[in-house]
Chain A
């Protein structure tokens, strides 16, 4: 009956480090489990140290260690999660909104004949019938979705619930799902990944800049500001279309979605397509010379002024702030 979460890890030299999003899933699942009078089980894949999960209420970990799962395969991972759900007789499966989890979630739901709700914000509104609130219409509305099936699959919008410590007596168990060769119809040939950079998906803070920066040569201060804040860098669509910044940094409706705790937009006017992609960020700051720029309508804090004067000052002041806090 327990609630199942898939606790993702990022590969590293020591054998996989649990990602922060997994702690949010654990916190969420624990709360739902308490309402349902059950426990939380996490499945991990090729993660050597899972102990951190016990800080967020996970009662049991099913540890999968299988060299066949070394590279990501959505079908094989979905298959492993399905078997874990069956073993635990889970009625609710909670997944994150990472690219990988959104890839495998519909596969898991079909294989368990489960209803699937994505972009879920907040705890279930109701347990019987099971209703959740989701982001829809590119963050312009919430949709209340009822899942009618016995098994429910949810993917939780990042940063929408939060991380809550809740120490548990967690048990660990090795789990060996059978992985079928037919799960490998798509094979990973190579991975191109910038190393050492904070990714937009993982970042709590994102510093984004637009055409107001006037040219690619002026991005040094944006990167420095991001560095001081431990933030990821992003850009508006025109900037990536002009080739000033790589496509991977483009955020907005047709770019990457951002759900950060803090989003700082510098020289970004705030076209509706841009806002659609970043609006689920918690706190938004705008710095723009044009006080009429649409971004001021959606921002929490704003500074009207020239980025070339403001950003260098902000960097110095933040450095001082960081050294005192």
Chain B
């Protein structure tokens, strides 16, 4: 099985978010970047397929040279090879077009992407790839098993789970559940050493338009401080929720 894992290089959740150039550019200064958490669950599941079913795992990212440490980390965790598409990821559609091209040329059976990245929270790339290539597609995927070409998977739905069946080739939008938090791997020294010699191919982007553009960023207005209510006076809390906040 030939597996492709799409990796997004995103600011760690604990990072302070700032913008520059009159709030039109993200300020990467001092920001710690990580593998997008939804992608990391998918990558870890991919490594499971590699170890249990002999799958070959390629990781791919659309981004500049500054994203390579994130790909090297994925290699250190166990991916066999990496591809970086050397382009600024202008919008979800542009990224989907680039990834679709890699998939067309790469003969992949299973493509695992995170259902959403934690920077722009667009949640559109896996679905757009499926739309562009006509592949079978399962979003919010929380479990996947592959037997030959047959796939059994679970999808999270509002209030429960849906069990679905499908066939390779397939793309999934993955999340926690593909593996659990405790299954995530921290690269060990051997992984880090071997990752340096693994192949990281740099591809130039194909020409594609973007359908959307980011015009401006804005930070939420500072919040007014919490109103504390005494534990002896819960009637006041109920009154505030009813009369002031109007939520009960």
- Contacts A205-B248, A253-B13 hold; do A116 and B92 have CB atoms under 8 A apart? yes
A-B contact sample (13 more), CB < 8 A, given A107-B130, A285-B241: A75-B137, A109-B93, A136-B119, A137-B118, A137-B119, A185-B167, A193-B159, A250-B176, A253-B37, A262-B248, A301-B226, A304-B228, A318-B238
B19 surroundings in chain A (CB, below 8 A): 141
Which residues A184-206 have CB closer than 8 A to chain B?
185-194, 197, 199-202, 204-205
Cβ of B181 within 8 Å of any chain A Cβ, yes or no, is yes
CA distance A200 to B235 in the complex (A): 26
* Number of A-B residue pairs having CB atoms within 8 Å of each other in the complex: 266
Interface string of A285-309 (1 = CB under 8 A from B): 1100000000011111111111001
Q: Are B123 and A109 in contact (CB under 8 A)?
A: no
Cβ of B186 within 8 Å of any chain A Cβ, yes or no, is no
Distance of A258 from chain B, by nearest CB (Å): 12
Cβ of B229 within 8 Å of any chain A Cβ, yes or no, is yes
Cβ of A140 within 8 Å of any chain B Cβ, yes or no, is yes
Cβ of A229 within 8 Å of any chain B Cβ, yes or no, is yes
CA distance A116 to B240 in the complex (A): 39
CA distance A296 to B167 in the complex (A): 48
CA distance A139 to B166 in the complex (A): 34
Interface string of B1-29 (1 = CB under 8 A from A): 00000000001011001010000000000
The 8 Å CB contact of A283, one of B135, B155, B164, B241, is B241
Cβ of B227 within 8 Å of any chain A Cβ, yes or no, is yes
CA distance A191 to B163 in the complex (A): 6
Interface CB pairs A-B, < 8 A, 28? A72-B157, A99-B140, A105-B124, A106-B123, A110-B127, A110-B128, A118-B124, A131-B215, A135-B121, A138-B13, A142-B217, A144-B216, A186-B136, A186-B164, A192-B162, A197-B159, A199-B160, A229-B248, A241-B180, A247-B177, A253-B118, A262-B245, A272-B14, A283-B245, A286-B226, A310-B231, A314-B234, A321-B238
- Of the four ranges (under 10, 10 to 19, 20 to 34, 35 or more), the interface on chain B belongs to 35 or more
Q: Which secondary structure dominates where chain B touches chain A?
A: mixed
CA distance A148 to B237 in the complex (A): 47
B136 surroundings in chain A (CB, below 8 A): 185-186
Q: Are B247 and A137 in contact (CB under 8 A)?
A: no
Q: Are A283 and B181 in contact (CB under 8 A)?
A: no
Residues of A at the B interface (CB closer than 8 Å) are: 72, 74-75, 98-100, 102-107, 109-111, 113-119, 131, 133-149, 182, 185-194, 197, 199-202, 204-205, 229, 237, 241, 247-248, 250, 253-255, 261-262, 272-273, 276, 282-283, 285-286, 296-306, 309-310, 313-314, 317-318, 321, 325
A137 surroundings in chain B (CB, below 8 A): 11, 17, 118-121
Cβ of B165 within 8 Å of any chain A Cβ, yes or no, is yes
Cβ of B57 within 8 Å of any chain A Cβ, yes or no, is no
Looking at B42-50, B79-87, B206-214, the stretch in contact with chain A turns out to be B206-214
**Those 9 A-B pairs whose CB atoms lie nearest each other, nearest first:** A106-B127, A110-B131, A193-B160, A199-B159, A115-B211, A305-B231, A201-B158, A185-B136, A262-B247
Distance of B123 from chain A, by nearest CB (Å): 5
Q: Are B166 and A138 in contact (CB under 8 A)?
A: no
Q: Are A107 and B217 in contact (CB under 8 A)?
A: no
A72 surroundings in chain B (CB, below 8 A): 157, 162
Q: Are A317 and B238 in contact (CB under 8 A)?
A: yes
Cβ of B107 within 8 Å of any chain A Cβ, yes or no, is no
- Contacts A109-B128, A205-B248, A285-B241 hold; do A119 and B121 have CB atoms under 8 A apart? yes
Q: Are A304 and B231 in contact (CB under 8 A)?
A: yes
